Chain A
Amino acid sequence: MTKSVSTLEMTATRSDERAGKYLVFELGREEFGIRVLQVREIMGLQDITVVPQMPAHIKGVINLRGKVIPVICLRSKFGLEAAEYSSRTCIIVVQVRGEAGLLLVGVIVDGVSEVLNIGAGDIEDTPDFGVGASTPYLLGMAKIKGKVKILLDIDRVMATEELKRLPSIAA
């Protein structure tokens, strides 16, 4: 198997920017990948301070070594049903490009599985789901070992209206 991956990698067009290392995490029955370069840290679930009057997917704020950062629940962001937090549930702290500069945001996921080196040959463009299904934050689909990992452009996931105004790191 590993062999096929490496041969695929060799045939990959070097110009494909999507190739590279991805952190794979689970959300329901789906697997997603975000660029490792944007991941700052992975931490276990901790007490989240609820901020009142916020959209449901903004869970609140946590203390990341002295910084107060917002935490997003990716399940409710993607419209999945809420799930009980388990021991595998964790917060991935990602660095995203906001309007006012780089920000740190915590993302709650069901669990992280591995870091994969995904070559351009493994990546397929997102299929067209037809009218009304806009998928601007999907980079593409990676087929690894017969399974599909959905590659997320986390910048764009966060770049929806209510998140544009998240605190910048400098704050």
Chain B
Amino acid sequence: MSHSEGALASLHETLDDLAGRAMLVDDEPAAIAPLLAALSQLASHADVAGCTALSETALELSQDASDGDSLRQGLLQLQKVLESESKKAAEAAPVEDAASSGSLGSDPDLLNDFIVEARDHLANIEAQALTLEQDPGNKEAVHSIFRGYHTIKGLAGFLELGAIQTVAHEVETLLDMVRNGQLSVTPAMVDGILAGADYLKTETNRIESMLAGGAPKRPAANDALVKRVHALMASKPVESTAPAAELIPVKATPVEAKTPEIVSAVEPEVLPAAAVHEVSANEPPAREVKKAPESRIVKVDTAKLDFLVDMVGELVIAQSMIRHNGDLSSVTNASLQRNLAQLSRITGEVQKTAMSMRMVPIGQLFQKSVRLVRDLTRKSGKRADVEIFGEDTELDRTIVEDLSDPLVHMIRNSADHGIEMPEDRVKAGKPAAGRITLKAYHQAGHIVIEISDDGRGLVREKILKKAKERGLVQDGAHLSDKEVFNLIFEPGFSTAEKITDISGRGVGMDVVRRQIQKMRGRIDIESQAGKGTTFFLKLPLTLAVIDGLVVGVGAERYILPIFAVREIFRPQPDAVFTVENRNEMLLTRGKLLPIVRLHERFAVEPRSREITEGVVVVAESAGKRFCLFVDELIGKQEIVIKSLGETFKSVPGLAGGAILGDGRVGLILELEGILGDIAHV
């Protein structure tokens, strides 16, 4: 791989940059020193890239040039040399790197496989890099990252993805030096590793969009990154690995200040060795590196999986139809009964397995948050650790996908609003580094996700004041803490004094709540001023299955989500009142609730119009209770929600359809829509 296009372009850029800076040298004679250093680095880069002539000239110049004039002349000459080298390279390699030129020469299937595999590796690299940051001595993490980059490099080389290969190669070399003990892990290095991963991520996205028929794009420039990695390689090797006891923050210099410099710096800036000792003594024990289980995994198209789940659902229905066939009850054949029982047991198992195949652990989502917190706190000069519990907790794939945005938003809030600046924390008697805890666990058929921080907490008065300003709360209203906290979910509400690019525009929490509710979940807050805030997300395990209450009206069957049902009873005649002889109300437990007759609502012929002959279901929707009058209760059933599609979406009061036990379709009621209509009546 001599004269790779990328390397030459990078050399070009470096030279131009140097030439520009050389113009300014005259005013400040000392300024020549970093330029000379950069030159010698350029020489070594040129050597790596196979441009020996350029390398030699650059090296000579870096030793000989003493003032601005000689440097400028030397640089001019260098540019000429590079020019001719590029020409030679172009002749020697007429076949252009297919992917880097913006077209995809390789087999799309192979590229797709590459994208999937690279993403897996990149996710792992990111996780391991963060582990490494916590625990710089973690050899296993280094190995794991190395392997990841190595695999990506190999695959990219095979598919002629030059840009990816170059970056992967450089980072891999860097990691190799760490493995051999030539370098030790610094925060800047972790940044470099992550930047490499980010670059590869963008590149895989680019390839993916090209595969999907997007406009061909050239790979993003990677020379700055390559330079940065080189700078890391040139940083001081470990001279003394300080024993653990001495791992005390040597300097208060925040690491983040250095990061942007390294990106743009051309001079081989040697990182202060102090950075190595960033790990403070009171750091929590490094998170255990979880080795990916060596179980065999098959990747399956999700469409196939969904189809399988559909089919299994049908199987269960067919099975139950046979079992409940009237003719069968008269059969006394014991072996037939036994076989039927066996059949239903097996179908149950198959269903459970099929459902479990849609489940994925939440860990990946959490891992993303770790990175997020890290980047956010660096930007704002705060410090925060992230603790994760229950990353193996599984939930439906679709929920994981839908949860990503709200979760990111809430974690941003925690890092931005919750966690205080280190000095404020110390003043408040808390450790300088904040703590954000993510927890996931199962509870009564739901999954609960806790996001807590030990930051400043929600301040009741502040929220109330804001709410009054916005007209969300009347003066003199008495609200419980919970009600006050819930105000932050109101649209347009934000207590942040200043709007940052992180959060504070007040479009956040209401969107979060809406999204959570869309998943049929709930969000609760617990908070103590000065101690911190905890958000509780309670979500169904799967979006596809809900517990439904099946009710009948005439010949039709309707399903109510059971979580909305509060009470079911047959009303007494003296509990029913009418308003203007039209609107009906029911007095129950000392409260008057409006009655909605489902048969009127849906224009279905009921069995009886007498309230006392039917059943009343007290349902709650959006905080309002009402009574739904139906003919009869049929039962409780676990149902798989099917979309009715766009046509029927315009029907207020319907949330979807479900296949009932007898194979018919039952309509799932959307209570808000049903109730919403009363207002119009």
Residues of A within 8 A of B (CB): 47, 49-54, 58, 60-63, 65-68, 70, 100, 103, 162-163, 165-168, 170-171
* Between-chain CB contacts (< 8 Å), 16 pairs: A47-B664, A49-B665, A51-B667, A52-B651, A53-B603, A54-B651, A61-B644, A63-B659, A63-B664, A63-B665, A65-B311, A70-B645, A70-B648, A165-B645, A165-B650, A167-B648
- A167 close to B643 (CB less than 8 A): yes
B646 within 8 A of A: yes
- B647 close to A68 (CB less than 8 A): no
- B657 close to A49 (CB less than 8 A): yes
Enumerate chain B residues within 8 angstroms of A62, measured Cβ to Cβ: 665
* Chain B residue at minimum C-beta to C-beta distance from A62: B665
Enumerate chain A residues within 8 angstroms of B603, measured Cβ to Cβ: 52-53
- A52 close to B604 (CB less than 8 A): yes
CA distance A65 to B646 in the complex (A): 20
- Given A68-B657, A165-B645, A166-B646, decide whether A63 and B651 contact each other with a Cβ distance below 8 A: no
- Given A49-B657, A49-B665, decide whether A65 and B647 contact each other with a Cβ distance below 8 A: no
CA distance A110 to B467 in the complex (A): 64
Enumerate chain A residues within 8 angstroms of B310, measured Cβ to Cβ: 65-67
CA distance A131 to B359 in the complex (A): 59
- Given A167-B643, A171-B645, decide whether A63 and B663 contact each other with a Cβ distance below 8 A: yes
Enumerate chain A residues within 8 angstroms of B645, measured Cβ to Cβ: 68, 70, 103, 165-168, 171
Distance between B643 CB and nearest chain A CB, rounded to angstroms: 4
Partner of B651, one of A51, A70, A162, A168: A51
B176 within 8 A of A: no
Partner of B644, one of A47, A51, A66, A163: A51
CA distance A67 to B642 in the complex (A): 7
Distance between B38 CB and nearest chain A CB, rounded to angstroms: 56
Distance between B337 CB and nearest chain A CB, rounded to angstroms: 28
Docked complex: B634-680 residues within 8 A CB-CB of A: 642-651, 653-654, 657, 659, 663-667
- A51 close to B664 (CB less than 8 A): no
Residues of B within 8 A of A (CB): 303, 310-311, 313-314, 556-557, 601-604, 642-651, 653-654, 657, 659, 663-667
- A171 close to B647 (CB less than 8 A): no
- B647 close to A162 (CB less than 8 A): yes
- B665 close to A68 (CB less than 8 A): yes
Partner of A51, one of B654, B659, B663: B654
The interface residues of chain B, by DSSP majority, are classed as: mixed
CA distance A49 to B642 in the complex (A): 14
CA distance A47 to B649 in the complex (A): 21
- Given A47-B664, A49-B666, A49-B667, decide whether A68 and B642 contact each other with a Cβ distance below 8 A: yes
CA distance A163 to B646 in the complex (A): 9
Enumerate chain A residues within 8 angstroms of B659, measured Cβ to Cβ: 63, 66, 68
* Chain A residue at minimum C-beta to C-beta distance from B660: A63
Distance between A43 CB and nearest chain B CB, rounded to angstroms: 12
- A165 close to B646 (CB less than 8 A): yes
Enumerate chain A residues within 8 angstroms of B643, measured Cβ to Cβ: 68, 167, 171
CA distance A47 to B313 in the complex (A): 19
- B657 close to A61 (CB less than 8 A): yes
Enumerate chain A residues within 8 angstroms of B604, measured Cβ to Cβ: 50, 52
- B666 close to A165 (CB less than 8 A): no
- B648 close to A54 (CB less than 8 A): yes
- A52 close to B646 (CB less than 8 A): no
Distance between B301 CB and nearest chain A CB, rounded to angstroms: 13
8 closest pairs, A vs B, by CB?
A167-B645, A66-B310, A165-B646, A52-B602, A49-B665, A171-B643, A68-B657, A68-B642
Distance between A89 CB and nearest chain B CB, rounded to angstroms: 18
Distance between B654 CB and nearest chain A CB, rounded to angstroms: 7
Which residue, of B303, B601, B643, B657, has the highest number of chain A Cβ atoms within 10 A? B657
- A100 close to B556 (CB less than 8 A): no
Distance between A76 CB and nearest chain B CB, rounded to angstroms: 16
Partner of A66, one of B303, B311, B647, B648: B311
CA distance A171 to B313 in the complex (A): 16
Enumerate chain B residues within 8 angstroms of A50, measured Cβ to Cβ: 556, 604
CA distance A167 to B604 in the complex (A): 24
- B651 close to A68 (CB less than 8 A): no
- A167 close to B644 (CB less than 8 A): yes
- Given A52-B651, A70-B645, A163-B647, decide whether A61 and B665 contact each other with a Cβ distance below 8 A: yes
Apart from A68-B642, A165-B645, 4 more pairs, CB < 8 Å:
A54-B648, A61-B644, A62-B665, A68-B665
* Chain B residue at minimum C-beta to C-beta distance from A168: B645
